[in-house]
Structures are given as structure tokens and as C-alpha cells.
């Protein structure tokens, strides 16, 4: 049983690595961004609350995020471990997660910080496209979607994310530096942090992560 937290700026490849790890380790990927986008497209109360923050590249308030993650982690499929992708993003969230994990039988998580230079992040995100229905990632430069703009997995429409515009990407990078990057020290002090180079192919990054988990 294992818990993993993937830290890193938007566009470092947390989502892709979380999916590969979930498959390899047989535990669920929990992407708070995907959960919020799903809620926004369904028009639920959570989605309506989250939408403006997300569109502008700001963080959704901690109380909302803590409620969401508490509910998600206590579901049956998390009892054998889980991979957090995009949570925690602030110190209060990390402290809240600690309290949540303390009260359960889960072991402390291993925290992987993926690192890629800003220039490369902007290049990746301005070229990122996603399936509106299943969330599959594409990239116009490295992994272009097939002709016709329909997802080969589920037939959904392939679109640019609302927050992948250049201005919003810069705002999200600033939010990451101001709020999320300090978590590296929080987890380093606990001895849980592993820093992994997120450059190059996703297969190469995956092997580096597995190397850190051995
Ligand atoms: P992501 O798909 O992880 O890039 O998340 C997309 C957006 O969802 C972020 O820019 C935030 O607006 C929101 N979001 C996702 N996870 C969190 C979180 N842990 N705390 C606050 N906001 C979040």
C-alpha cells in the first residue's frame, strides 16, 4: 500500500505521470483539477463555485478543496492507497491533509516534485489539447490529436482548456510559485520529498519516478 503526492507547476506532466503510476501500482489517480472541471461541466454547486477561480488561473478556496478531498479519500477505492495529482496546493491544504491522514490507517505519502523550466512549461501548455469528455491529453507538437478533432479513446471533442491561454498560464505559474512551491520545504523537512527532472519523454520521466520509489 502506497500513497503518492505529485507536486509541480502546471504543465510539468503531473497528470500523465499520475495516470501511468495509477496503472502500474493499481491505485486511483485523484486529480482535483479533473474533479473540478467535471463538476463545472455538469453545472453542480461545486462546479459553479469553482468555475471563475479556475478560468482566471486562481486557486479554489481551501475550505472547498478540503471538503472535496475528504469526501474523495474516504471512498472504498482509496483504501489501498492513492495518487494525488494537483492537491495539496497551499500550506493549509497540506496541513489539512496531514490531519486527515493521521486519523486513518494510511501511511505517510511519498512526495514527488516534478521540475521543468518555465519556458518549456509555456511551450507545452500553449500546445496542449484535451478531450472534453475523458480528459485524454494531446500536444500539437509532440502528440497531435488525429484529424477531425475527435478523441480516439471515447469520441469526445478535443479542445484547448479554458485556462491554457498564455496570460492565464503566466498567472498560474505565479500562483504556483507563491503558494505551492513552498510545500517543497514542508515535505523536505518531513523527509518525504523526492525531486524528479520532468524534462524529455513521458516514458523517461516515468522511469525516473519509479527509480525514486524503489
Ligand atoms: P489542474 O488541472 O491541476 O491544473 O487544476 C486546474 C485548476 O483547478 C487550478 O488552476 C485551480 O483553479 C483549480 N484547482 C485544482 N486543484 C486545486 C487545489 N488543490 N487547490 C485550489 N485550486 C485547485
pLDDT digits (tens, 9 = 90+) for 104-118: 666 778 999 999 999
**Ligand 1 centroid – CA 89 distance (Å):** 8
User: To the nearest whole number, what is the mean pLDDT of the chain?
Assistant: 93
Q: Does 60 contact ligand 1 (Cβ within 6 A)?
A: yes
CA distance 56 to 165: 10
pLDDT of residue 103: 66
pTM: 0.92
- Asked about 89 being catalytic, the answer comes back as yes
Q: Does 131 contact ligand 1 (Cβ within 6 A)?
A: no
119 falls in which pLDDT band (50, 70, 90)? very high
Angle, CA 7 vertex, CA 193 and CA 34 arms, to 5°: 150
Residue with cell 507536486: 7
pLDDT of residue 102: 81
**pLDDT above 90: percentage of residues in the chain:** 85
71 falls in which pLDDT band (50, 70, 90)? very high
Amino acid at each position: 500500500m502506497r500513497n503518492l503526492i505529485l507536486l509541480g507547476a502546471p504543465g510539468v506532466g503531473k497528470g500523465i505521470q499520475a495516470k501511468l503510476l495509477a496503472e502500474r501500482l493499481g491505485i486511483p489517480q485523484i486529480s482535483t483539477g479533473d474533479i473540478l472541471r467535471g463538476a463545472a461541466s455538469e453545472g453542480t454547486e461545486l462546479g459553479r463555485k469553482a468555475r471563475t477561480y479556475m478560468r482566471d488561473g486562481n486557486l479554489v478556496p481551501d475550505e472547498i478543496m478540503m471538503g472535496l478531498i475528504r469526501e474523495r479519500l474516504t471512498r472504498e477505492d482509496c483504501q489501498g492507497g492513492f495518487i494525488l495529482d494537483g492537491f495539496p496546493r497551499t500550506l493549509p491544504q497540506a496541513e489539512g491533509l496531514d490531519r486527515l491522514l493521521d486519523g486513518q490507517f494510511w501511511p505517510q505519502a511519498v512526495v514527488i516534485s516534478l521540475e521543468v523550466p518555465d519556458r518549456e512549461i509555456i511551450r507545452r501548455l500553449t500546445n496542449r489539447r484535451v478531450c472534453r469528455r475523458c480528459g485524454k491529453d494531446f500536444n500539437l507538437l509532440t502528440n497531435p490529436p488525429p484529424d477531425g478533432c475527435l478523441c480516439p479513446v471515447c469520441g469526445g471533442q478535443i479542445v484547448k482548456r479554458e485556462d491554457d491561454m498564455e496570460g492565464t498560464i503566466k498567472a498560474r505559474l505565479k500562483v504556483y510559485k507563491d503558494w505551492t512551491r513552498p510545500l517543497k520545504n514542508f515535505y523536505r523537512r518531513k523527509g518525504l520529498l523526492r525531486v524528479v527532472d520532468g524534462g524529455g519523454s513521458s516514458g523517461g520521466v516515468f522511469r525516473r519516478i519509479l527509480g525514486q520509489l524503489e
